Amino acid sequence: MDAQMYGSIAAIGAGLAVLGAGLGIGRIGGSAVEGIARNPEAAGKIQTAMIIAAALIEGVALFGVVVGLLGGAK
């Protein structure tokens, strides 16, 4: 009963950042899979490009999460 969890706008902000990341990476994954379906020989290159793009987007989303952590912590 002593675990004090208080909501804050920072948490909502972090959630929005994660929402954006989810949408972006979902689109990348979809396009990558479609590309592999069209051209199975290029699967290796497409996979590498997908991983790089996904990690870049995740980096940006984590900026948002870090700002959320900073805003929520005292």
Note whether 32 and 50 are within 8 A (CB): yes
Residues 13-72 that bind another protein (CB under 8 A): 48, 51-52, 55, 58-60, 62-63, 65-66
- Which residues have C-beta within 8 Å of that of residue 40, sequence separation ≥ 6? none
Task: Give the type of residue at 8.
Answer: S
User: Is 37 or 70 the residue whose CB approaches another protein more closely?
Assistant: 70
Shortest Cβ distance from residue 35 to another protein (Å)?
18
User: Is 1 or 37 the residue whose CB approaches another protein more closely?
Assistant: 1
d(CA 52, CA 40) in angstroms, rounded, equals: 19
Q: Is 2 in the site for another protein (CB under 8 A)?
A: yes
Return the structure tokens found at 72: 């929520």
By CB under 8 A, name the binding residues for another protein: 2-5, 48, 51-52, 55, 58-60, 62-63, 65-66, 74
